[in-house]
Chain A
Amino acid sequence: MESSRSLTGAPAASAAATRASGLARVASAPLLLAAAGACLALGVLLGFLWAPTDASTMGFSQKIFYFHVPVAETALLAFGVAFVASVLYLRTSNAKYDRLGMVSVRLGLLFSVLVMITGMIWGKAAWGVWWAWEPRLTTFLVVCLLYAGYFVLRSSVEEEGRRATFAALFAIIAFVDVPITFLATRLMPAGLHPVVFTSSGAQMDHRDLIAFLVSMLGMSLLFVGLLRVELAVERLRDELYYLKNRLG
């Protein structure tokens, strides 16, 4: 019997093998995800056991900083990747860049929501309120709304090529807007809560810094790992679509 055709040229597999390969695909970034997990765990340990407890009013709740800020920076990294992918798509019209862009934005949005959630928890712990219009939270709220619009835009266009083009355009414009929004929210006068979530006190103790950097690395690795997983999913989806079309 002829071997089946597929976009990736992979041969047909039995049920058990499918299940196994499914998991293998997910862990297809096994090194990355393992490294991410290790880094994050290390970061947590360093942060809690090694770095000194914050002396300012925030106290123990400052520890949230070790996850909150890396998640924020990783979200921005994701949007940056989407920006580059979008530019590349516009120049080459290669669908793989559109896929990369969409997946990056999705992950970036996920991370941004996490920034908001951890930011709100930190706010409650440090200042006693669930929400304050402080610059970083506000910026990320706008960023979330902005990139949510990316998906609304995608779902409004039926034709594939156009959808990819418009999405790429929007990802570019949106990313340009992120630093502008960042600056703009700082123009607003400080409210009742002069909340600027900086690191502890005036200077970051070098132990804080190392724990933070380790967490940062872990979060970035997590992003790349998740990216590869998502890309595999999307590639499969495209293959499915292609096969369905062939079957008519």
Chain B
Amino acid sequence: MIILDAILQGILMGLLFALVALGLTIIFGVMDIVNFAHGEFLMIGMFTAYWTSLLLHIDPLITLPASAVVGMLLGLASYYWLVKYLLRGPMIAQLFGTFGLMLFLRYLAQFLFGTDYRIVQKGLLVGKSLSLGPFILDWTKLSAAILSLLAFLLVYYLLHRTKLGKALRATALNKEAAGYMGIRTDRMNALAWMIGGGTVGIAGGLLVNFWYVYPTIGLLFVMIAFASVALGGFGSIKGAFFAGVLIGMIEMLFPVFGHLIGWDFLGPHFKFTVVYFAYFVIVVLRPQGLFGWKH
């Protein structure tokens, strides 16, 4: 029973993880850059939702568009002011570049908001739960999961049914060939960053309803995102989805498992260490992940 509950909770969290991973995998798929600052984008999405709902006295769920917009702008700005130049350089520079962005955003947030932990406390769904048979599900988490799923499907639709989306995928597959077809790589890159930033911004907006936000939260989630993307296959959207959910389940099941076999010292804190470890194992044993699209 505990196990089923853990699985259910895992799926809920996993859907959110999947959304976070989506942006990362799209950016990577289109231009082979790993956005180390992805977690910070999430954090900013969280803060946006938090401050917007607090200052404008509106329900946090309604602030989602704000998080999305801020995320998109952040992605665009990052591309046009930094990433565009990084693409010309060697990989080490690209790595350090997005790393620098990560640090910059993190400490900027620390400077602006201080190190306190904050969480949304007033809202339509905050604190309420749904009873489904023997399971009790928090409405905040449930709504986050549902909305993540919707967002995911929306992006999927965008990428597979619209002309723009197809252009993006074409660039991801072969940017030169796409270029010859008249698709401007530069624009596609920017679009990728916009979608990446937007989706993770939304994820942040959803997360802050039940998870504390603080300036350094980015690292944790970016590592989870890395693990998801690695597991799913760098560049694979389907992969991001299934891997995200899987990781969510692993993360919830791990303490339960530990408890069951008496390894209680593998406390709740370790469930994230497991994720880091999982990344390592996945990438070494099966570099192409589940749906291996690139590499």
Q: Report whether chain A binds chain B.
A: no
Q: Which residues of A contact B (CB under 8 A)?
A: none
